[in-house]
Chain A
Amino acid sequence: MAIELVSGNEACARGAIAAGCNFFGGYPISPSSEIAETLAKLLPERQGIFIQMEDEMASVGSVLGASLGGAKAMTATSGPGFTLMQEHLGYATLAEIPCVVVDVMRVGPSTGVPTAPSQGDVMQARWGSHGDREVAVLAPASVKEIYDMTVNAFNIAERLRTPVVLMFDEVLAHMREGVELFQPSVEELWSRPRPVDHPSSTFQPYSPNSEGVALMPNFGDGYHFHVTGLMHNEKGFPTTHPETIRQLMARLKRKMEPLPLWLPAEHYRLKDAEVAVVAYGITARVAKEAVDRLRDQGILAGVYRPRILWPVGRSDLIETLGKFQSIVVAEMNQGQWVEVVERYLPNSVRVLLQSKLGGEPMTTEEILDGCREFVKKGVRAL
């Protein structure tokens, strides 16, 4: 492999291929369209299927159907399309259908600015679908990481039988970087757990293994199984039995617990830091530069960058950031992940939101402004 110039969207499409994706159903939307465009070329060359559906609801519907048939399936969209996909995402959670949904964030609400970046969909990714569900949301910060995390997204989706959302923004999507992309080995690619026994009438399609995940046959393998958005028992049939529902909900939440350990947060120059900046995605890149500049001026600063936004890696967050008196959370929205930081850290930590709106990325100077507020007041780490 050699270093090559690749855009974020192209890296996402190539990561999908590297992960073994063989189905894409989607509807083009700025700024995600190049993912569909690239896969429209790559998939048919590899006996995969690319289909342009009539809208985003149908797109994710086709993805779920393909996945039940045994495909590694994905779709890609942006905010307005992501909104339309929410109901099916909830269905995929409860019916435990593996799939990957990419959301390239643009300025919203509504049509907003289709060609400009934001980080406004963070809470939608968490709470966009009704009911009370656990979600998996990944936030890469470079072209290389988009490639790697697309592979991670498929791995998580398959192993845990869950929808996984990969979210980045317009700048990362269209930015080109010199990168070396490695094909993961067979051992690095995870598959959904499959039944090995001969199909029989005793097969229970929602009976979990030790990881809390049930064995998943393909439609057409000969197993009888029922897939529903209703609460169901281990046979897959509808139930209103409270204890069965409680156990199912607990299992769906519990199986997601290892995620923050699989993709731990990045700690950048945090060890001796007195001020911490919390940032993810493209904003974390800017934050690192700001921190380097602060250190040049003798101010000890560091960056905490979650790679996975949901579920929150609570213990690492508390352990790492709980000792600080002052934390700046930098986001291209009106304050979304800052609520996580405020929720989990003790009251002794003062949290300042550095928000950026308007469709331009955060600048180094803006993050410096946030940090200087604290430094001016003489705030230091405990």
Chain B
Amino acid sequence: MWKKEIRLAGSGGQGLGFAAMVLADAAIKAGLHVSTLQSYGPEARGGASRSDVTLSDEDIANPWFSKPSVLLALNEKAWIKYGPQLGEEDWVLVDSDWVNIPAGRTIFRLPLERIAKTELREKLTTNMVAVGALGALVGHIPLSALMEAARFRAPKGFGGINQDAVKRGWELMEDLRGGVKDANARGA
């Protein structure tokens, strides 16, 4: 059985609930079983926010997980809160401008918000850059499904830029993983 428990963590207003739905929509298109849960409260007005997505190739008996196997941390607080739960084999993707941890075998650093601001010229697409990067990391979901979901869920006028953001995030993660593999090879 293949199963990933993905936690998207950051601040209210960063669109983590939306990102979870895009990931889940794309996973359904890819034939996977999905469930999502998100922190429920006044998060849209700020404060800590979190969304959980479970992906599996089998029925998901229990949608509630106490510890993620993949963590996205968009800020230091999210990393401090959920980082210590991770095991050695669990993956983490952090926004490298906001979270101060060194890269590692399972720790992936990308300047997600900076890419959204400078390359896509829209800070709001940070969540979609992250979705693309997570998709490339987790596997089992093709880029085309992620891009389609990002367009389908987008508010009017955001479909195109969402797709670009997802694609850019995917490419950056592929480069990063390639680099990590090279580094590991060199190390060996």
Contact = CB atoms under 8 A, between A and B. Distances in A.
Tell me if B's interface is mostly helix, strand, loop or mixed: mixed
B35 A177 contact: yes
Contacts of B37: 171, 174-176
Interface string A241-252: 000000000000
B35 A176 contact: yes
Interface stretch (B22-30, B83-91, B108-116): B22-30
Interface string B27-51: 1100011111110110000000000
Contacts of A178: 24, 27-28, 32-35
Interface residues of B, number: 21
Interface string A1-24: 001110000000000000000000
Interface of B: 20-21, 24-25, 27-28, 32-38, 40-41, 60-64, 66
A289 B1 CA distance: 14
Contact of B41 (A115, A171, A175): A115
Interface string A113-157: 001100000000000000000000000000000000000000000
A4 B40 contact: no
Contacts of B64: 171, 282, 285-286, 361, 363
Contacts of B60: 177
A5 B34 contact: yes
A175 to B, nearest CB: 5
B24 A176 contact: yes
Nearest to A174: B40
A115 B41 CA distance: 6
A361 B64 CA distance: 8
16 contacts: A5-B25, A5-B28, A5-B34, A115-B40, A171-B37, A174-B38, A174-B40, A175-B36, A176-B24, A176-B35, A177-B60, A178-B35, A285-B61, A285-B62, A285-B63, A289-B61
Nearest to A361: B64
Contacts of A115: 40-41
A346 to B, nearest CB: 30
Interface in A281-322: 282, 285-286, 288-289, 292
Given A174-B40, A361-B64, 19 more contacts: A5-B24, A115-B41, A116-B40, A171-B64, A175-B35, A175-B36, A176-B21, A176-B36, A176-B37, A177-B60, A177-B63, A178-B24, A178-B33, A178-B34, A178-B35, A285-B62, A285-B63, A288-B61, A364-B62
Contacts of B33: 178
A31 interface: yes
Given A174-B40, A177-B35, A292 B61 contact: yes
Contacts of A274: none
Given A31-B40, A115-B40, A363 B66 contact: yes
Q: Give the interface centre of B36, B38, B61, B66 by most chain A CB atoms within 10 Å.
A: B61
Contacts of A171: 37, 63-64
Contacts of B27: 178
Interface residues of A, number: 24
B35 A4 contact: no
A103 interface: no
A289 B62 contact: yes
A48 to B, nearest CB: 27
Max chain B CB contacts within 10 Å: which of A3, A174, A176, A363?
A176
B62 A286 contact: yes
Contacts of B24: 5, 176, 178
A117 to B, nearest CB: 9
A170 interface: yes
B58 to A, nearest CB: 11
Nearest to A364: B62
A292 B40 CA distance: 29
A129 B20 CA distance: 41
Contacts of A177: 34-36, 60, 63
Contacts of A5: 21, 24-25, 28, 34, 36
Contacts of A116: 40
Interface string A263-292: 000000000000000000010011011001
Contacts of A174: 37-38, 40
Contacts of A285: 61-64
Contacts of B21: 5, 176
A302 to B, nearest CB: 13
A176 B35 CA distance: 5
B16 to A, nearest CB: 13
A2 to B, nearest CB: 9
Nearest to A292: B61
Nearest to A289: B62
B59 to A, nearest CB: 10
Nearest to B36: A176
Nearest to A303: B61
A175 B28 contact: no
B26 to A, nearest CB: 10
Nearest to B66: A363
A292 B62 CA distance: 11
A269 to B, nearest CB: 11
Interface string A227-264: 00000000000000000000000000000000000000
